[in-house]
Amino acid sequence: MKKTVTVGLGSCGIAAGAEKVFKKIQALKEADGLDIAIQKTSCVGMCYNEPLVEIQDDTGYFMYGHVDEKSIVAIMEEHIRNGNPVRDQVVLSDLFETGDASFMEGQVKIALRNCGYMDPESLEEAEKREAYQAIGKILENKVSREEVVEEVIRSGLRGRGGGGFPAGLKWRFALRNKADQKYVICNADEGDPGAFMDRSLVEGDPHTVLEGMIIAGYATGATQGIIYCRAEYPLAIKRLNIAIQQARKNGYLGKDILGHKGTDFDIFVKEGAGAFVCGEETALMASVEGKRGMPRKRPPFPAESGLWEKPTNINNVETFANIPWIILKGAEKFAAYGTEKSKGTKVFALAGKINHGGLVEVPMGITINDIIFKLGGGIQKGKEFKAVQLGGPSGGCIPAYLAHTSIDYDSVNATGAIMGSGGLVVMDETTCMVDMARFFLDFTQKESCGKCTFCRIGTKRMLEILHRITIGEGEKGDIEKLEELAYQIKDNSLCGLGQTAPNPVLTTIKYFRDEYEAHIVEKKCPALSCKELLTYEVIPDKCTGCRVCAIKCPVNAIDGEKKKVHVIRQDDCIRCGDCYNRCRFEAISVR
């Protein structure tokens, strides 16, 4: 077997320096005449170990992590030339256990089944991994549109983009509309942490997304597909366009697909401006039509009157990526994963204070604890797990004592959070929940399109209150004002952005009300995170008078002679923390 060296060139790998590593490997091959095959792939999910390089030979496979231009020289010398794997840098192998193996254990990959295992720009490699076999099966066996829709319904697949509406029912509504023109739209523009998942899918396996759309087009009677992708994802757009061209050339897109007369479907990419509100389907369609991305009232729903007032089916990237697998393997096999009302798997983007940040795909029904501690490797620096924010910027915060919660739509919604598109942000004991609520609300407030008064002005007023609380200017009654505003915004906003924007605030008040009260009443931040509420003081028994703190203080707020106890002048202290971080004797306290 010829030795193969594969470099992960997804956006995460490129950002970590993988392109330089790829070019270095090419240079080494040319300079040393190495008999190796060099390949590229996308993100395998282990983003915390990027750049990643995999070497396969007769003995097995070896995934190297944190590879740079210097270490790849040693790896190539030892492993390729001498046949000795550099075990200290191997993060995965089929020959021996590694500390990172737990990241892959417990995962069930359906949507992500090809990501990181093939060249995303190669149709030939995609075909080896069953690309376009599902649509071929449908057409060769003359499966009716109704039968395809019923198969998706039986699978229990719910839309993976937010609300979790059954995908097959959406398709049925569109199919039953007898209009002469219909559309299929893939939403690849959701602007929350979960969008990292969407981007990785289209970067790593664009043909699966295209095939899911083709099947949706056949099932609903649509002939035109649009992928709505934010322009900030240039690599995703590039690979989508390459895949579309390849699919057209090989008869998978266009007129008479796979030679079946009258089966027509084509796709183009529409680049969006990156507005979070365009994750809402009516705002997305307005943007595709060249209008400002703003939601409209429903009904009529898109299946009745959508893009250019024609029936339109909209699903997100992950939803479409599941479709070919369901058609090939069967609805029953997909439905075997998960719970009674939440079937299949779900992709999550793990971020925050977690050791193994990246992408995971897990069966519905797994607990939050299992994701964080079995796959995610636990909390960074051994700190205490405090909460998880689930569902993107407008998701809710779930406290550690509810981390036994099952990952399914009903259980997650019962906590006040939402499944969303799969963002999962982990927080530890150093996270201030009031400031976290302010952070997420700041994002959704800025992303509000401004159409609804309650969303436009209400979120602004809530943000002002949260800001006052975090700088020590909170007042009695602020918590009640936040709750009143939150419910008014949820009840009176037109689209999902406004209806869910208050979730981080409402859930942090529900589960962490004591932190709000500490900020307002005691003017203290229990997590020692809000800068304006901190007090730095010298501990007399520990101070040696070394003067390091006084010398480094940027505003000269520390008095004291050499070898004598120092004092911090509180009126002049700007709470930068330099003294605390630089003291070698732990003689500075913060409270």
Whole-number Å distance between alpha carbons of 227 and 251: 19
Amino acid type, 344: G
Whole-number Å distance between alpha carbons of 520 and 532: 13
- C-beta of residue 280 within 8 angstroms of C-beta of residue 295: yes
Judge whether 67 lies within some domain: yes
Instruction: Extract the tokens encoding 179.
Output: 């209009």
Domain of residue 359, CATH code? 3.10.20.600
Judge whether 311 lies within some domain: yes
> Based on the domain organization, do 165 and 313 belong to the same domain?
yes
* pLDDT value for 279: 86
Q: Half-sphere exposure (CA, 13 Å, Cβ side) for 8? A: 30
* pLDDT value for 274: 79
Judge whether 529 lies within some domain: no
> Based on the domain organization, do 482 and 541 belong to the same domain?
no
> Based on the domain organization, do 489 and 396 belong to the same domain?
no
> Based on the domain organization, do 248 and 311 belong to the same domain?
yes
pLDDT tens digit string along 57-112? Answer: 999 999 999 999 999 999 999 999 999 999 999 999 999 999 899 999 989 999 99
> Based on the domain organization, do 501 and 443 belong to the same domain?
yes
> Based on the domain organization, do 283 and 357 belong to the same domain?
no
Judge whether 462 lies within some domain: yes
Residue 421 is part of which domain span? 345-428
Q: Which of 379, 406, 428 is the last residue of a domain?
A: 428
Judge whether 475 lies within some domain: yes
Whole-number Å distance between alpha carbons of 63 and 101: 11
* Number of other residues whose CB lies within 10 A of the CB of residue 242: 16
List, as one string, the DSSP characters of 139-155. HHTT--HHHHHHHHHHH
* pLDDT value for 304: 95
pTM over 0.75: yes
Measured CA distances, 579 to 189, 317, 552, 564 (Å): 44, 49, 7, 16
Number of domains in the chain: 5
Q: Which of 373, 394, 428 is the last residue of a domain?
A: 428
Domain of residue 61, CATH code? 3.40.30.10
Q: Among 126, 346, 306, which residue's Cα sits nearest to residue 226? A: 306
Whole-number Å distance between alpha carbons of 100 and 49: 9
Q: Among 272, 74, 87, which residue's Cα sits nearest to residue 186? A: 272
The H or E element containing residue 31 is helix 18-32
Domain of residue 128, CATH code? 3.40.50.11540
DSSP-derived 3-state class of residue 460 = helix
Whole-number Å distance between alpha carbons of 192 and 443: 10
Judge whether 118 lies within some domain: no
Say whether the peptide bond before residue 363 is cis (omega within 30 degrees of 0).
no
Domain of residue 495, CATH code? 1.20.1440.230
Judge whether 108 lies within some domain: no
Residue numbers in the chain where pLDDT is lower than 70: 190-195
Q: Which of 370, 403, 428 is the last residue of a domain?
A: 428
> Based on the domain organization, do 505 and 539 belong to the same domain?
no
* pLDDT value for 193: 46
* pLDDT value for 12: 93
> Based on the domain organization, do 445 and 516 belong to the same domain?
yes
> Based on the domain organization, do 403 and 446 belong to the same domain?
no
Q: Among 240, 235, 233, which residue's Cα sits nearest to residue 209? A: 240
> Based on the domain organization, do 351 and 397 belong to the same domain?
yes
* Number of other residues whose CB lies within 10 A of the CB of residue 271: 16
> Based on the domain organization, do 421 and 440 belong to the same domain?
no
Judge whether 115 lies within some domain: no
> Based on the domain organization, do 445 and 544 belong to the same domain?
no
